[in-house]
Structure 1
Amino acid sequence: MAEKLEDLNLPGATVARIIKESLPDNVIIGKDARAALSRAASVFVLFLTSQASQEAQREKRKTLLGQDVIKALEELEFEDFIDPLQRVLKDFKESKGKKQPKSKKPNENGHEEVEEEQEDDIVDEETGD
Structure 2
Amino acid sequence: MAQAAAEVEELPRTIVRRVVKDKISRVSDEAEISVKKDALLAFSEGARIFIHYLSATANDICKDSKRQTINADDVLKAIEEIEFPEFIGSLRASLDAFRRKNAVKKAGAAKTKEAKKKRKMENKPPVQNGDSLHEEVDVGEGNEDE
Q: Same fold (TM over 0.5)?
A: yes
The answer for the alignment partner of 1:107 in structure 2 is none
The answer for the alignment partner of 1:43 in structure 2 is 49
**d(CA) in 2 for partners of 1:12 and 1:27?**
16
Unpaired runs of at least 5, structure 2: 26-30, 114-146
Unpaired runs of at least 5, structure 1: 103-115, 117-129
Which of 44, 47, 61 is the matching residue for 2:67?
A: 61
Which of 88, 96, 99 is the matching residue for 2:102?
A: 96
**d(CA) in 1 for partners of 2:99 and 2:80?**
22
The size of the alignment, in residue pairs, is 101
Whether 2:28 is the aligned partner of 1:22: answer no
**Alignment RMSD (CA, Å):** 2.0
The answer for the alignment partner of 2:6 in structure 1 is 5
The secondary structure found in structure 2 opposite 1:61 is coil
**d(CA) in 2 for partners of 1:99 and 1:89?**
15
TM-score where L is the length of structure 1: 0.72
Give 1 or 2: higher strand fraction.
1
TM-score where L is the length of structure 2: 0.64
Q: Deviations over 1:78-112 (max 9, x none)?
A: 0111111101111111111113799xxxxxxxxxx
Letter in 1 for 2:20: I
Compare CA radii of gyration and give the structure with the larger one: 2
Letter in 1 for 2:6: L
**d(CA) in 2 for partners of 1:77 and 1:5?**
27
**d(CA) in 2 for partners of 1:27 and 1:14?**
16
The answer for the alignment partner of 2:135 in structure 1 is none
**d(CA) in 1 for partners of 2:68 and 2:78?**
16
Question: Following TM superposition, by how much is the alpha carbon of 1:26 offset from its aligned partner in structure 2, in angstroms?
Answer: 3.4
